[in-house]
Amino acid sequence: MMKKSLVAVGVIVALGAVWTGSAWYTGKQLEKRINDAIAEANSQIKAAAPDAGLTIGYENYQRNVFSSQLQLVVKPDTSAKNSWLQKDQSVVFNETVDHGPFPFAQLKKFNLIPSMASVHTVLEKNATTQALFDMAKGKSFADIDTRVGYSGATSSDITLQPLDYVKDKVKITFSGGNFTADADAKGDNVSLKGSADSGLVSTPNEYGQQVQLTFNNFKTDGETSLSTFQERIGSQTLSLDKLAVAVEGKEMAVLDGLKINGKSAPDADGKTLNGEINYTLNKLRMQNQDMGQGGLTLKVSKIDGAASHQFSQMYNAKTQALMAQPGIENDPELYQEKALDALLSSLPVLLKGEPVVTIAPLSWKNDKGESSLTLSLFLKQPVEQDLSTAIKSIDGKLTIPMPMATELMTQVAKIEGYQQDEASKLASQQVKGLAAMGQMFRLTTVTDDAITTSLQYSGGTATLNGQQMALEQLLGMFGLTAPANEPELDNDAMPEEAPQPPLTPPAQ
């Protein structure tokens, strides 16, 4: 019995010695990798948010046998002209690192998979983060536990604390949330999944009215990877059960069942990108009126991968130069104008692969029917940077059932204060007038009680509702340029009924 006890104690001591040695070794390895990880993080920040003007560093590293401590510090980049933080501001994360091969933090969770380290991260309270601590009742808003594998890959459990803040006329509440983020050693492959139950922001607008925004049951699930041409591809799903806006306690708009689903991937040849994004909304209510439901499917294909990367670099460089201009941050309108110019001037590069943009479809429906727009836009690289020459061909069709449109406009009239009978009459007149005017100018036709438009364009020739014409004529019909030969109006195509004047609006 004594021998067995001595053997057991010897084995425990031996195992303890091996564990201690391994923990010390992995602590050394982690210390060696910190600089590489910091450099990679700073590279990612510059690529994803070039106008942020932030940099990450670390301070106060202390390595012990089983654990180490350090601080990650986010502060303004001294080489940047502008930054999201002021010169004297910083955001600090306190990191406690349990060394492998069996970090104590992982053993507490009964996770026996060997790993290099387990890192516990909390936000430090300082002048910059004081408001978040006040909202979270003195707790760190973000609490993160990260497992670091021997390959350098990480898996993080992120807990966002509940918030409750009231000051003057500003109120913010948040239920808290739980998220999981995984990344490989280089950060090329990243995934994020999680949810938050609810949130509320209430604040005065520019007119002194109290505006309240609330959401319920937010969820996200996605993964991305870095393609061979250094562009991110993957899939992402976002959903909300409810998003509501109220002004002065009166409900203005409620979106039920909002979902966004996007994905992108390279073609089989690995040289071009395809992308698709789907929006769906189960119901829209405005001032308690049911406005219907809708959806949009937008597809982009044949984007040249190398050109896409070149476009990103060019646009980022132009926006960085824009942000460096003195005083630009104080003139939002000028910034938006210049940013749009930067986008349009960079766009021709993106059209190198002759991409195709497809809407299939954009739809909106209610109890009386469904309207839909389908459109295929074939693009090409413009001549001498002239975007007006970038259209190769167009194929589109619009269908609006008149009963559906009348029902929608009835709801709009009721929001404006009309009673049901008057609202229905006004809506009917408006839709009939729209149909008549469209026929008068040859922009639409009426088929099977639906307003329709069909447009095809290729090689300088357009076909609108079956009528062929030159591009100049088509643009002239929309008042965009003087038409070369305006088509004669056919008396047979004139509407039988002239548009009726609207009813007198209700007295205020």
Q: Looking at the domain assignment, is residue 226 inside a domain? A: no
The pLDDT value recorded for residue 503 is 47
Q: Looking at the domain assignment, is residue 213 inside a domain? A: no
The pLDDT value recorded for residue 101 is 65
Between CA 193 and CA 223 the distance in angstroms is 9
**Which spans in 237-304 are helix H?**
none
The pLDDT value recorded for residue 173 is 94
Please tell me whether residue 89 adopts helix, strand or coil conformation: coil
Q: Does position 481 have pLDDT exceeding 70, yes or no?
A: no
Please tell me whether residue 25 adopts helix, strand or coil conformation: helix
Average pLDDT along the chain? 84
- Residue whose structure tokens are 């727009």: 373
CB 143 within 8 A of CB 133: no
Q: Looking at the domain assignment, is residue 292 inside a domain? A: no
Paired strand residues for 275? 264, 300
326 cis-preceded (ω within 30 degrees of 0): no
Least confident of 292-301, 320-329, 493-502: 493-502
Q: Does position 508 have pLDDT exceeding 70, yes or no?
A: no
Per-residue pLDDT tens over the stretch 148-202:
887 878 888 999 999 998 988 899 999 999 999 998 877 788 999 999 999 999 9
Q: Looking at the domain assignment, is residue 278 inside a domain? A: no
Tokens in use for 20? 């201690």
Between CA 73 and CA 288 the distance in angstroms is 48
Between CA 212 and CA 168 the distance in angstroms is 14
How much of the chain, in percent, has pLDDT values that exceed 70?
86
Query: Which helix H or strand E contains 4, and what residues bound it?
Result: helix 2-48
Between CA 453 and CA 467 the distance in angstroms is 11
Q: Which of 161, 177, 195 is the last residue of a domain?
A: 161
The pLDDT value recorded for residue 43 is 81
Instruction: State which of 267-271, 340-344, 470-474 shows the largest mean pLDDT.
Output: 340-344
Q: Which of 130, 161, 192 is the last residue of a domain?
A: 161
Between CA 485 and CA 315 the distance in angstroms is 40
Per-residue pLDDT tens over the stretch 348-391:
888 888 999 999 999 999 999 999 999 999 999 888 777 778 88
pLDDT band at 505 (very low <50, low <70, confident <90, very high): very low
Q: Looking at the domain assignment, is residue 93 inside a domain? A: yes
Q: Which of 113, 140, 161 is the last residue of a domain?
A: 161
Per-residue pLDDT tens over the stretch 204-226:
988 889 999 999 999 999 999 88
The pLDDT value recorded for residue 45 is 78
Q: How many domains does the chain have?
A: 2
pLDDT band at 271 (very low <50, low <70, confident <90, very high): confident
Tokens in use for 262? 């996007």
Between CA 122 and CA 92 the distance in angstroms is 9
CB 384 within 8 A of CB 400: no
pLDDT, mean of residues 275-293: 95
The pLDDT value recorded for residue 11 is 63
Other C-beta atoms closer than 10 Å to the C-beta of 357 total 16
> Where do the DSSP E strands lie in 54-112?
54-63, 67-76, 91-99
The pLDDT value recorded for residue 496 is 46
pLDDT band at 285 (very low <50, low <70, confident <90, very high): very high
Q: Looking at the domain assignment, is residue 201 inside a domain? A: no
The pLDDT value recorded for residue 269 is 77
The pLDDT value recorded for residue 178 is 95
Q: Looking at the domain assignment, is residue 222 inside a domain? A: no
How much of the chain, in percent, has pLDDT values that exceed 90?
40
The pLDDT value recorded for residue 444 is 93
For residues 134 and 4, the model is more confident at: 134
Q: Does position 263 have pLDDT exceeding 80, yes or no?
A: yes
Half-sphere exposure of 357 (CA within 13 A, CB side): 9
Amino acid making up residue 237: T
> Where do the DSSP E strands lie in 267-336?
272-286, 289-304
Q: At what angle do helices 402-415 and 420-440 cross, to 10 degrees?
A: 130
Half-sphere exposure of 294 (CA within 13 A, CB side): 17
pLDDT band at 488 (very low <50, low <70, confident <90, very high): very low
Global confidence as pTM? 0.80
Tell me the CA distances in angstroms from 167 to 101, 126, 129, 201, one per residue in order: 48, 20, 17, 12
Please tell me whether residue 102 adopts helix, strand or coil conformation: coil
* Phi, psi (rounded to 5 degrees) for 91: -115, 125
Burial class for 193, CB neighbours closer than 10 Å (0-12, 13-18, 19+): middle
Range of the domain at 40: 19-161
CB 200 within 8 A of CB 171: yes
Q: Determine the distance from the C-alpha atom of residue 333 to the mean position of all C-alpha atoms in its chain, rounded to a whole number.
A: 22
Per-residue pLDDT tens over the stretch 1-27:
445 556 666 665 666 666 666 676 677
The pLDDT value recorded for residue 284 is 96
Tokens in use for 393? 């061909």
Q: DSSP per residue over 443-454, as a string?
A: S-EEETTEEEEE
**Which spans in 223-328 are helix H?**
305-323
pLDDT band at 119 (very low <50, low <70, confident <90, very high): confident
Q: Does position 501 have pLDDT exceeding 50, yes or no?
A: no
The pLDDT value recorded for residue 40 is 78
Other C-beta atoms closer than 10 Å to the C-beta of 2 total 6
- Residue whose structure tokens are 């040859």: 442
For residues 432 and 388, the model is more confident at: 432
Least confident of 48-62, 269-283, 351-365: 48-62
pLDDT, mean of residues 244-266: 94
Burial class for 404, CB neighbours closer than 10 Å (0-12, 13-18, 19+): buried
Between CA 473 and CA 479 the distance in angstroms is 10
Q: Does position 431 have pLDDT exceeding 70, yes or no?
A: yes
Q: Looking at the domain assignment, is residue 463 inside a domain? A: yes
Other C-beta atoms closer than 10 Å to the C-beta of 401 total 21
Tell me the CA distances in angstroms from 220 to 178, 179, 194, 236, 261, one per residue in order: 11, 9, 6, 7, 10
